[in-house]
Structure 1
C-alpha cells in the first residue's frame, strides 16, 4: 500500500494564490474558499490520466434550470457555476470535460438529477441535490474519470423505500471515480456500484471507485453496495446506518479507518463479495465480509486514524465550500 506524507485528506486541494485561501464562517464551522480548477488529490479519479473537468474552458454562471441544462451539454471544456436554488424535473445529462460547481452553500438542485453517461472527465462539486423522483440524484453510467466532491445528497424516509431511487449510483462499467467529502443522509437505498447481478460481462474489470471522507447518516442501506467492482473505502463516518458496506458478486473492497455508530451490519458479503479491512471502528457491531485479496491501490493517500475521522468529516463533508 502506498502512502504519501505530503497528501492530507479531508478537504479538497486549495489553490496557492492568496485569494483562494480566505476562510469565512458557515454552519458553525470554517468554510474553505476553493478554486474552480481544483482536481482530485487521490482516489481512482487520479488514475487513467487524471480528472480535470472543465479546466481551461470558459466559465459560465447559471441561475435557472434552463440555463443549467444548456450549459452542461456538449463536450467542450467548460466550468459551470451554479448560483442559487434551481428546481426542475427528471434529469439533466452532462457532457464531457465539465466542472459543475455550486457557488456557495445556497447552490442546490431540487426535483431533478444529474446523469453522467457515456462521457469522461467530469467534476461535480459543492451542490445540494435533493428529492429526485423517478431517477437517481446522481447517476454515473459508462463514464470514466469522474470526481464527485462536497455534495449534500438527500431525500427523506417518510415515503416507501422505493419511492426514491439512489442518491449516487455508479453503474454500467463506469470507471475511475472518486467520491469525497460528501454528506449522504435521510435516504433508504443510498449508493450502488453495479446495478444488477446479471451484468458481470459488462462490469467486470471496471467499476473502480474510491469513497473517502464522506458522512453517511440516517441511511438504511447501500453505504455503498458494490457488485463486480474494485472499491477503496476509507475515513468515512457512518451514523445510524443500518446496513453499511455490502460487497457482492465478486467485488474486491479495501476498507480502512472508517467509523460506524449505530450500524447493525457495518461490512458484510453477499453472493461471494470480498473485503480486506483494517483500522476500522465498527462500534461494537461485527464485520462479516469474506476475506478478499485487495490489499493495495495504485495511487497515494494518507488515511487518518479512526479516532480522528469524526472531527475531520462531520461539519466538513457536504456543500461547505465557497468559490
Structure 2
C-alpha cells in the first residue's frame, strides 16, 4: 500500500517496516531493513531525551521543491518521504519534530541546502545531496537532537576550494548530533563542527557530536574539523582524505577503530585541540594530536568493529542505500 494512500486513510503514523533489501557488496550479500520510524541507537543524538523525529505524526510524500518546503516548515510531528529527484536553489528550513526520508536511491537533491536552525528533534535519512553553491549541503545551527543517517553528500573538486561550502556543518552551539552511515565524497572542505575561532562563548559546553560508520572519500580536509566541542568518531573508513580529523580550540575527541588509506594527516591538532585514539589503522600517516582526556561517552556504544573489519562494513553500505 502506498504511503499517499495510507495518509488519506489516517494510517500514516503506523510504524511501517520496509521490505528487506538485498545488496551485493564486494562478493558478499548484505541484508538491510529499515523503517520510517527508526531512531538512532547510539551517539549523542540518543542523549538529552533522545531523537525521534516525526514518529507519532502523520506521513506525507513530496516530489517537488514547493511541496518539500511546505511539508517541513512547521514544528508539528511529521514524517516527510521524498520521492524522486528534486533540483532547485536556495534553502529548505526544517522545523522541529520532523523525519525527512528519501524513499529510495532516486531521492536526489541537487543545488539547495537543508537547514536545521534553532530547532530540535530532527531526523534526516537516505538522501543524496550534491552541488550546493552558496551554502552547506546540510547546516545544523543552534539545533539539538539531530540524527543524520545514510546520506550521500558530495560536490566535485573541479572548482576552487572555496566554490562550495561544507557538506555538513554543525555550528552555533548545535548539540546532541549523531552522523552515521553517510558517504562524504569529492569535496574540498567537508564537515565543520564550530564555525569560528572567536565563538568560544557560544560554543563551549555544546557541540557534542558522534560520527560513526561513515565513508569519507576524495576529501581534502575537515573529516571532520572540531572546535570547542566534544566528538566521538568510531568505525569510519577514510580513503584518499588528505587532512582527516582535526581537533582544535580546546575540543576533546575520542577516536576509535577508524581506518585511513592515503591520508597524510589522519589525526592532528591545531590551536590546542586534544584527542584520545585507540584501535585505529592510520595507514602511512600517524596520530599527531595532543593527548586528550575524553576516554568514555555517556551513551551505549555497540561493540566496536576491529579496524580490519571496517571497510567491509562501511563501503557499499554508507550512503542512500535504503528503501522504504
**Class of the TM-score when normalised by the shorter of the 2 chains:** over 0.9
| 3-state secondary structure, aligned to 1:321 | coil
Distance apart, 1:22 and its partner CA:
2.0
Against the structure 1 CA distance between its residues 314 and 73, is the aligned structure 2 distance closer, same or farther, given a 3 Å change threshold?
same
* CA displacement, residues 273-312 of structure 1 (integer Å, 9 cap, x when unaligned): 0000000000021110000000000011121110110000
Unaligned runs of 5+ in 2: 1-14
- Whole-angstrom distance in 1 between the partners of 2:232 and 2:30: 28
Distance apart, 1:90 and its partner CA:
1.4
Against the structure 1 CA distance between its residues 304 and 26, is the aligned structure 2 distance closer, same or farther, given a 3 Å change threshold?
closer
Whether 1:317 and 2:318 are equivalent positions in the alignment is yes
- Whole-angstrom distance in 1 between the partners of 2:16 and 2:84: 26
Distance apart, 1:24 and its partner CA:
3.5
Whether 1:134 and 2:126 are equivalent positions in the alignment is no
* CA displacement, residues 21-58 of structure 1 (integer Å, 9 cap, x when unaligned): 52244788646231000000000000000000000001
Against the structure 1 CA distance between its residues 19 and 224, is the aligned structure 2 distance closer, same or farther, given a 3 Å change threshold?
closer
Against the structure 1 CA distance between its residues 93 and 18, is the aligned structure 2 distance closer, same or farther, given a 3 Å change threshold?
closer
Distance apart, 1:91 and its partner CA:
1.1
Whether 1:239 and 2:239 are equivalent positions in the alignment is yes
| 3-state secondary structure, aligned to 2:288 | coil
Against the structure 1 CA distance between its residues 26 and 106, is the aligned structure 2 distance closer, same or farther, given a 3 Å change threshold?
farther
Residues 94 and 114 of structure 2 are in contact (CA less than 8 Å); yes or no, is this contact kept in structure 1? yes
Residues 31 and 320 of structure 1 are in contact (CA less than 8 Å); yes or no, is this contact kept in structure 2? no
1:59 aligned residue: 59
User: How many residues are matched?
Assistant: 307
TM-score between the two structures when normalised by the length of structure 2: 0.93
- Whole-angstrom distance in 1 between the partners of 2:237 and 2:135: 26
| 3-state secondary structure, aligned to 1:70 | helix
Whether 1:49 and 2:46 are equivalent positions in the alignment is no
- Whole-angstrom distance in 1 between the partners of 2:109 and 2:182: 15
Residues 133 and 165 of structure 1 are in contact (CA less than 8 Å); yes or no, is this contact kept in structure 2? yes
- Whole-angstrom distance in 2 between the partners of 1:320 and 1:27: 12
1:77 aligned residue: 77
Unaligned runs of 5+ in 1: 1-16
Residues 32 and 322 of structure 1 are in contact (CA less than 8 Å); yes or no, is this contact kept in structure 2? no
Residues 185 and 217 of structure 1 are in contact (CA less than 8 Å); yes or no, is this contact kept in structure 2? yes
2:12 aligned residue: none
Distance apart, 1:227 and its partner CA:
0.1
* CA displacement, residues 80-102 of structure 1 (integer Å, 9 cap, x when unaligned): 00000001101111000000000
Against the structure 1 CA distance between its residues 273 and 318, is the aligned structure 2 distance closer, same or farther, given a 3 Å change threshold?
same
Residues 43 and 209 of structure 2 are in contact (CA less than 8 Å); yes or no, is this contact kept in structure 1? yes
- Whole-angstrom distance in 2 between the partners of 1:92 and 1:197: 27
| 3-state secondary structure, aligned to 2:287 | coil
1:270 aligned residue: 270
- Whole-angstrom distance in 2 between the partners of 1:50 and 1:161: 36
| Counterpart mapping for 1:199-238 below 5 A | 199-238=199-238
Against the structure 1 CA distance between its residues 56 and 296, is the aligned structure 2 distance closer, same or farther, given a 3 Å change threshold?
same
- Whole-angstrom distance in 2 between the partners of 1:167 and 1:19: 30
| Counterpart mapping for 1:230-309 below 5 A | 230-301=230-301, 302-309=303-310
2:21 aligned residue: 23
Against the structure 1 CA distance between its residues 161 and 95, is the aligned structure 2 distance closer, same or farther, given a 3 Å change threshold?
same
- Whole-angstrom distance in 2 between the partners of 1:251 and 1:175: 14
Residues 17 and 36 of structure 2 are in contact (CA less than 8 Å); yes or no, is this contact kept in structure 1? no
